[in-house]
Structure 1
Amino acid sequence: MMSKPYSIAVEALLRIKHKIDIVVVGANDGMVNDPIYEFCMKNSDKSSICLIEPNPTLIPYLRENYSSHPSHKIANCAVGKDGILTLYAIKEEFWQDFQPDYAKGWPVHRASTGITSASREHIEQALASHPNINPEEAIVALDVPSKALETILLELSWQIPIDVLQIDAEGHDDSVIYASNLQLTKPALIYFESRHIPADRIQLLLAYLSSHNYRTYEIGGDTLAVNGRTNLRYIYLNGIVMFFAWAWKLLKR
């Protein structure tokens, strides 16, 4: 489910443009615990979505979950420096054993594949709360193709610039942003998971975004960056109206 500020910003952007292009990096299965899924399904005639997922195991889930969306494309690769990127994942035979409390009600694949990362340490830390799982047996290295975002979009004949860039890269969201050529892709909104990025790298990333004219807002463990070249007054005006409309509905219940 979308955080309220992200939801407000995306809905406002749709009001301005009437149809928006969305790129999701680290799409996983595209549906479970994904902040943009419901919006895209509700506005399938007003959105185009590019789903980028490096783990080949998840591509069939993506295809199924977006089969009814008329304007979607899927890329099975990572966003980063051109070449091969090594990711670390939990082997499928251990998925059933890794079911943390936050994943109650999720399909068995979601939690395990959701922590796939370029950092083996990230996986080991997640497994530390599951002493029944031996990391040496459960973790597998995946070598996946890595490309700059603009390269992927050009290969898919995707429109550039884009409107929304959503990232969930388990501690490497900053690397994705650096490989996204913001001067070319110019997303109006960037929404990324910042909680797993070390403080020193977060500061560098925020400075980088500021240098590209983005204003950033921390939302729990995530960050929303708004392009200063976007018509911010219009976004904020629509956002305020939508927020108070939402609050009014709650009060009237």
Structure 2
Amino acid sequence: MSALLYHGEPNGASLTVLAALAETGLDIECRRIDLLAGERHSLPGIVDPVALDLSIEGEGPVLVIDGEAMTESVFLAQYLDEAAGGVGLQPTDAYARWEMMMWCRQITERLSPAAALLGNLATSQSAIAAIPAEDFAILAARIVSDDLRERWQALNDDAVNAAQVADSETKVAAAVDRCEKQLGDGREWLMGTFSIADLVTYSWLAGMEPLRPAAFADAPLVKAWLARTAARPCVQAALARATISEPLRAWAPGPEINRWG
């Protein structure tokens, strides 16, 4: 079996999958790509636009197994866990697994678009806006998804939607509050035992703490959980793949902001 994981710096969706891979111990080649250069949209040998470009995560990682490309970080983490024979990243109980997946859906549909927007405005917009017009036109032409191309264009135009910023800040604060309540019974991990829910939540939330510290001011349980998660060997291994000093500040255009609130 040939296996290759294309990923960005260990933050957001790429961090989820890199940490899951480290937890499983699977021997899969990892190849970092420059997301801000649009490299995800011209991966060698991958021509299927659905597999390559229509991921709802935006610039998420791509796992290629025997020539077949797969996307979406939660599903990739599940695949890796199951391919390794089950290393505990998913509950075995059917209800507990449903509960974990519902949690992950909340994170990927509400927190991740908000975090990506705020992260991009804080750390990536200037770099994308600085791309010369001719080069940006070539980059944008490779992006099949209209929604994702629009997010790239807004960053290139240095456009800021104040209503989206405010909505994103509210969603980050809501995610922190939800985690604080979940941890309120004394559990160490969001689902009771360490799981994909911890990985995906940490991957999108950790980078928000330095950007929106007020959201974490009254969340001591969340802060302690962030520290525990950061100390996990699999997360440490994922972060060690960074090529920059602050990988949690590495953002690329992400999921579409939910239109239904």
TM category (shorter chain) comes to 0.3 to 0.5
* TM-score where L is the length of structure 2: 0.32
Q: More helix per residue: 1 or 2?
A: 2
Q: Output the TM-score relative to the length of structure 1.
A: 0.33
Higher RCO (CA < 8 A, seq sep 6+): 2
